[in-house]
Amino acid sequence: MKPIQLLIAALIGASASGAEARKPNVLIFYLDDMAYGDPACYGGKLAPTPHMDSLAANGVRFTDGYVSACVCAPSRVGLMTGRYQARSGHDSNEGDLALGETTIAQRMKDIGYATALVGKWHLGSGKDTLPAARGFDFSVGSVGNLGGEGVKTGFYRGTERLPKLDGAPVTSPLYAREACGFIERSQAGPWFLCLAFNAVHNPNVASEAVLARFPELKRRERDYAASLAEADNAIGTVLAKLRSLGLEENTLIFCISDNGDSSPYANQEGLRGHKWLLWEGGIRVPWLVQWKGRIPAGRVVSTPVIQLDVLPTALAAARAELKPAWQLDGVNLLPLLEGGAGQPPRQALYWRFGPQFAIRQGDWKLVKAAKDMEPMLVNLANDRSEAHDLSATHADKRKELQTLWDQWNAPMPPPIGNGKSWDGEEVRTAKKQQKKEKPVK
């Protein structure tokens, strides 16, 4: 081989080696109480969501994407740990993330990533339980839910608790700015960022400019639409920052809602139930993934996935070892995302929410969504609205799923706390509130 050919080969090899060595950035958009059908790419018509839609167009849209809980805090436990929250008894919104659990931020930090949490935390309010103590290099946002005049539980920046952040309670644009600042500072990479919105959880608030885009809607419906639109705007702001820095091609992006809706103006696309319930409407959510440098664009996939899969998928993308000792419940979705036809290597998906429980295996689901109801067997392939109980005609399948769930649940500790957030009272209160909320001038 001639010297010039050797030089060219060496340069090509060095370039390929450098590309291989670059670990992808990982970005999670975690919406709050956004219904399955709220984004336009899932059928939503109330508010335009062009930036969420762009993730679907440039990546994968899952039709059967789930979260492991029907309320906020336990859903976040599953996201942060890649493990069912039942493993630590964290079924409800009560309690802090168990100190024995290892977060996705700690896992990513161990392999050289800068880490950040911007937005709602809801997993602890003390210095030893805020994000800064759980592996996040940079963190700012609300400790829990927003309240009428500000927040119920306050804000945080690092280990410091704050009564207010500038711009609150309209937090979506604020969080977008903080997220962009972290990305700018960390652009040399690799970095991991979770942007956890307060939107569209009540109270629905938005800036005046966004509210003005919906003059035809009455006040509460307008507020919900604007809250959704402003969260989508914030996603667009962060995506624009990635593009301006040349980072989008090498960033693995997830966009998921933490649970089902809590508003009468949400679009459930025919799913039964809402937040607080283990019907599909409480746990099936928008589930989008984009990685322009790796994942084929524009695919719609019906394989069931769950937010527990985010952690092992992110680690696999970073070429990190997944250790059996971690007892992860999520699985690596990269083969599926890249176009593989195989199913994720798991037997079933499981849920426990106090007296409620559910299991999905294939198209079959066994669900007990109220304390006093008998478990109901449905086939989601032809009954997505869970209207028809097939227990009588498929007794063997009902028994099989009940046995599987019992075996899964047997080693789990009981739910922590006094159960007031899953014993049915808050469920009844939430349902009554939804009925009371009527559009007003």
Q: Tell me the catalytic residues.
A: 72, 122
Q: Would residue 43 be called left, alpha or beta, if left means φ above 0 and alpha means ψ between -120 and 50 degrees?
A: left
Degrees, nearest 5: CA angle 334-336-340? 115
Q: Where are the alpha helices (DSSP H) in 269-394?
A: 280-283, 310-317, 334-337
Token pair 């030893």: residue: 128
DSSP state letter for 245: T
**With contact defined as beta carbons under 8 Å apart, do 196 and 32 qualify?**
yes
DSSP state letter for 146: B
Instruction: With both helix axes pointing from N to C terminus, report the angle between 50-58 and 219-244 in degrees, rounded to the nearest 10.
Output: 50
- Report the alpha-carbon distance of residue 43 to residue 100 in Å, rounded: 41
Q: Quote the tokens at residue 111.
A: 């392999």
- Three-state DSSP class for residue 192: strand
- Three-state DSSP class for residue 220: helix
- CA 300 vs. chain centroid, Å, equals 18
Q: 284, 249, 274, 267: which is closest to 380 by C-alpha? A: 284
According to DSSP, the residues that pair with 157 across neighbouring strands are 140, 160
The amino acid occupying position 103 is T
Q: 237, 167, 170: which is closest to 199 by C-alpha? A: 170
Token pair 């009554």: residue: 432
- Report the alpha-carbon distance of residue 96 to residue 103 in Å, rounded: 13
- Three-state DSSP class for residue 128: coil
Cis, peptide link before residue 300, omega less than 30° from 0: no
Degrees, nearest 5: CA angle 100-106-111? 140
The helix, strand and coil proportions of the chain, stated in percent and rounded to the nearest 5, come to 35, 15, 50
